[in-house]
Structure 1
Amino acid sequence: VMDGAISTRERDQARADFSQAQAEVQQAGAQESIAREELRTVDVGREGLEAQVRVAQAKLRAAQIDLNHTVIQAPEDGVLGEVGVRLGQFVTHGTQLMSVVPADHWIVANYKEAQTKAIAPGQTATLRIDALGGATLKGHVERLSPATGSEFAVLKPDNATGNFVKVPQRIGVRISVDPDQPFESSLRPGMSVEVDVDTRHR
């Protein structure tokens, strides 16, 4: 008949097993805490690395902007003139580096105001260029200036003294040079040109 009694050795073994099980539970709890701390450390480290990546990307964008600013592009195609900068020179905003002469050619003829009565856009013009030995080119009137040259002057004439003398004003007439002509490529800004406009057709 079993009455639930056990030997002292079995009791001691059971107590030892219980104590060992409690120790293992505590150890497992400690390992869980360590794992949680390591996980938080990993999260913090990941956030730090992500912050470093964002900083590096910002530095890359700033470096790309600086690199883009080292390339100076002309607003249009043309030929360089009056190059006032040398290789390796440091420049700042507003510094004139060079002049660009565009590929398009046109003439501005300053006619007296009375002479512009019959001039209209589209009329043909004959151009004689002194620097080309009197060679002639053909062109067309593009437009007339919206005001006389004196209106665009820095110091405008003042006739408030009462000694008014009528002086014929000059009106600029822009004439485009027709393409594909001999000597067209030899034109340079500032050349002297004699212009005849055919005013028979408006």
Structure 2
Amino acid sequence: KVNVRRATQDFGRYQNLIKDHSITQQQFEQAEATKETAERQLQALVESRKQAVVQTNAISQASTATGSQVNVANSMIRQREVEVDEAKLNLSYSYILAPADGLISKVNVQPGQFLQAGQSTFSIVRENQLWVVANFKETQVEKMKVGQKVTVHVDAFDGHPFEATLTSFAAATGAKFALLPPDNASGNFVKVVQRLPVKIEFNNASDSMLKRLRAGLNVAVDVHLD
């Protein structure tokens, strides 16, 4: 714009000078050409600026549209992730997982049978935790204590003694948890020697015979009193 204004002012002065024949016709035409060139350059710059503004607006609109599309895509991704998590949860319901490793026994279901929530399907005998519950008379436990060595004789494997350790005493005698515990409130009291359950755990995990033991086998135990 400055160049156009200067060229226009120069051209106006040259118009007055040409009337007085103070300049040549060539100088006048050169000033006129300079003015027209400056005007064309200004017009070209104005058009370029308009195009740049249009392009900037188009890019801004495209960027806004792209941002909206990205937000929509992110929302869809989050929704699909929730659906995937829900599908994984539903799939997990189709698997029946045992609470522990062991041998299955006493199966209570048949192929094709429908199961109900909380229904017992089978029993599990854990292999990695073997112990004996020995019922000692209350008159025998006076010198017994946790940590004492025990030798276990299993009737099924009479020639193979097992090494074990006394680990705990029950909190009550077996009679207290019987199906029909004795009630002496009526005064009919007959003293009966009570038996106290004692837990004994096997020591030698490398003993191959331990794998042959089964729940419910009869055993005899010898506690080594200190």
Q: Same fold (TM over 0.5)?
A: yes
1:58 maps to 82
2:135 pairs with 110, 120, 127, which one?
Answer: 110
More relative contact order, 1 or 2 (CA 8 Å, 6+ apart): 1
- Preserved CA contact (<8 Å) 2:106 2:123: yes
2:150 maps to 124
Per-residue CA deviation, residues 111-138 of structure 1 (Å, 9 max, x unaligned), is 2211222333313234241xx2755523
Cα distance in 2 for residues equivalent to 1:83 and 1:164: 43
Cα distance 1:198–1:82, how it changes in 2: closer, same or farther (>3 A)? closer
Q: Secondary structure at the match of 1:165?
A: coil
1:176 maps to 201
TM-score by length of 2: 0.62
How many residues are paired up? 192
Cα distance 1:40–1:88, how it changes in 2: closer, same or farther (>3 A)? farther
Cα distance 1:126–1:33, how it changes in 2: closer, same or farther (>3 A)? closer
Cα distance in 1 for residues equivalent to 2:190 and 2:54: 108
Per-residue CA deviation, residues 36-86 of structure 1 (Å, 9 max, x unaligned), is 444322221111011111112222233334444544443433222223456
Unpaired runs of at least 5, structure 1 = 5-16
| Structure 1 residue 148, shift from structure 2 partner | 0.9
2:192 maps to 167
- Preserved CA contact (<8 Å) 2:165 2:203: no
1:188 aligns with 2:214: yes
Cα distance in 2 for residues equivalent to 1:66 and 1:26: 60
| Structure 1 residue 155, shift from structure 2 partner | 5.2
Q: Which residue identity lines up with residue 187 of structure 1 in the other structure?
A: L
| Structure 1 residue 100, shift from structure 2 partner | 1.8
Per-residue CA deviation, residues 165-185 of structure 1 (Å, 9 max, x unaligned), is 222211012223453557533
TM-score by length of 1: 0.68
Q: CA RMSD in A?
A: 4.0
Q: What is the percent sequence identity of the aligned residues?
A: 27
1:97 maps to 121
Cα distance in 1 for residues equivalent to 2:104 and 2:184: 43
1:147 pairs with 172, 191, 196, which one?
Answer: 172
Cα distance in 2 for residues equivalent to 1:181 and 1:29: 88
| Structure 1 residue 153, shift from structure 2 partner | 3.9
- Preserved CA contact (<8 Å) 2:165 2:202: no
Q: Which protein has the larger Cα radius of gyration, Structure 1 or Structure 2? A: 2
Unpaired runs of at least 5, structure 2 = 1-12, 17-39
1:157 pairs with 172, 182, 194, which one?
Answer: 182
